[in-house]
């Protein structure tokens, strides 16, 4: 591995630290130069913030270029693990997050939060949970010795489902939570941040593979992707800087339902796979894909729907801060319980043998 690739691996491993430093920088700059951030926030077209749109594309295109959609033919070979992950991602996770948001933010923590922001916070949590992660799950899968073709086919299938399911699920849950749904902006966000990038990445991947340039381009774009993520965090917390200094407890309170959601969904997927006798190499990435979030899309959609300075945007960025350390702990649980997991699947095979 080259030195630059090792550096990127080290950067990804300590992503939480870099995000934390970007948060501190954003809060500081937001308080020192508020006019600059307001000017950036006003750069909109059809309710889409242009600086953030460019940053989001810089984040997600390298991730989507890594996905081989031809791997969809592998779906049938891993149908039990695929079925569990699809059920968690689309039938359980968004709805459980909406419920957790209601319980924690409207009931348990209501006395510590600004009542005018609670709806936005819940909307941010829903956006965070409504789309499964793409790129980072390849890292998690590798850390648990996951089956690479299962991970690839699951991510490819989730991307296809996301094109059709993200907007209806978000709209339904926002409506249930009595939050006004700006449908035109929501569909525009899906088009801008899911449909077009997936199509561009699919066509671009085929073209780059035919020229033998894919690895070189990804190697070049990875640092740009990471930098775009950190700049986005700086911008978001720059807009939220004054509010956060007044209410630092908000970050912690938002992190609690996100953390609970990750552990609940990952362990549920892990347990269901064990009950179905799925190999550990499939169950591990299934649990991790079932729990992780496509936070780049969530951040973009929150800004488009509710604005740079909204509680929804803040909640999605807290998801970035929480995800890496919590997912690493899930990786540790999956690895340390491999013996327990395989004893259960072996017993099931004996009973049905």
Read off the DSSP letter of residue 92: I
Query: pTM for this structure?
Result: 0.78
What pairs with residue 132 in β-bridges? 293
Specify the CATH number for the domain of residue 114: 1.20.1530.20
pLDDT for 55 equals 84
259 vs 317: CA distance, rounded Å: 13
88 vs 91: CA distance, rounded Å: 6
pLDDT for 12 equals 60
Q: What are phi and psi of 49, to 5 degrees?
A: -75, 120
304 vs 312: CA distance, rounded Å: 10
Question: 283: which residues sit within 8 A by CB, 6+ positions away?
Answer: 81, 269, 270, 273, 274, 334, 341
31 vs 21: CA distance, rounded Å: 16
272 vs 267: CA distance, rounded Å: 8
* Three-class DSSP category at 49: strand
pLDDT for 264 equals 96
7 vs 12: CA distance, rounded Å: 9
- Rounded (5°) CA angle 128-12-307: 30
Total domains present in the chain: 1
* Three-class DSSP category at 67: coil
pLDDT for 89 equals 94
pLDDT for 1 equals 42
pLDDT for 33 equals 86
Q: What is the pLDDT of residues 259-307, one digit of tens each?
A: 999 999 999 999 999 999 999 999 999 999 988 888 777 887 888 888 8
All residue ranges of the chain with pLDDT < 70 are 1-16, 46-47, 71, 135, 240-243, 345-353
What pairs with residue 49 in β-bridges? 44
pLDDT for 350 equals 47
Q: Please, is 249 exposed, middle or buried when counting C-beta atoms within 10 Å of its C-beta (0-12, 13-18, 19+)?
A: exposed
For 52, 83, 234, 309, the CA distances from 42, given in Å and listed in that order, are 11, 43, 16, 11
Give the alpha-carbon dihedral of 145, 146, 149, 150, to 10 degrees.
170
Q: What is the pLDDT of residues 304-344, one digit of tens each?
A: 888 877 889 889 888 877 877 888 899 999 999 999 998 87
pLDDT for 348 equals 57
Q: Which domain holds residue 245?
A: 3-352
Cβ atoms of 318 and 258 within 8 Å: the answer is yes
Cβ atoms of 136 and 292 within 8 Å: the answer is yes
pLDDT for 262 equals 94
pLDDT for 260 equals 96
């Amino acid at each position: 591995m080259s030195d630059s690739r090792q550096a990127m691996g080290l950067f990804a491993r300590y992503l939480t630290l870099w995000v934390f430093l970007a948060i501190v920088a954003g809060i500081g700059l937001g308080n020192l130069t508020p006019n600059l951030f307001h000017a950036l926030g006003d750069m909109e077209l059809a309710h889409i913030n242009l600086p953030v749109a460019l940053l989001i594309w810089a984040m997600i295109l390298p991730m989507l270029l890594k996905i081989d959609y031809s791997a969809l033919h592998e779906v049938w070979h891993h149908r039990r693990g695929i079925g569990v992950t699809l059920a968690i991602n689309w039938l359980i996770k968004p709805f459980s997050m909406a419920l957790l948001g209601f319980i924690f933010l409207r009931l348990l923590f209501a006395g510590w939060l600004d009542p005018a922001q609670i709806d936005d916070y819940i909307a941010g949590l829903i956006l965070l949970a409504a789309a499964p992660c793409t790129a980072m799950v390849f890292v998690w899968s590798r850390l648990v010795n996951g089956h690479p073709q299962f991970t690839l086919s699951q991510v490819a299938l989730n991307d296809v489902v996301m094109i059709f399911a993200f907007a209806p699920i978000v709209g339904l849950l926002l409506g249930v939570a009595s939050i006004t749904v700006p449908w035109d902006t929501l569909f525009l966000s899906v088009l801008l941040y899911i449909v077009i990038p997936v199509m561009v990445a699919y066509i671009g991947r085929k073209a780059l593979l035919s020229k033998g340039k894919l690895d070189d381009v990804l190697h070049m774009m990875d640092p740009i992707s990471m930098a775009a993520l950190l700049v986005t965090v700086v911008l978001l917390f720059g807009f939220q800087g004054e509010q956060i200094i007044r209410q630092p407890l908000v970050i912690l309170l938002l992190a609690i339902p996100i953390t609970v959601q990750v552990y609940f969904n990952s362990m549920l997927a892990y347990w269901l796979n064990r009950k179905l006798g799925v190999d550990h190499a499939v169950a591990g990435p299934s649990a991790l894909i079932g729990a992780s979030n496509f936070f780049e899309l969530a951040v973009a959609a929150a800004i488009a729907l509710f604005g740079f300075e909204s509680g929804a945007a803040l909640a999605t960025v807290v998801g970035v801060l929480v995800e890496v350390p919590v997912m690493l702990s899930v990786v540790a649980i999956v690895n340390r319980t491999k013996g327990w997991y395989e004893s259960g699947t072996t017993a099931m095979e004996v009973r049905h043998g």
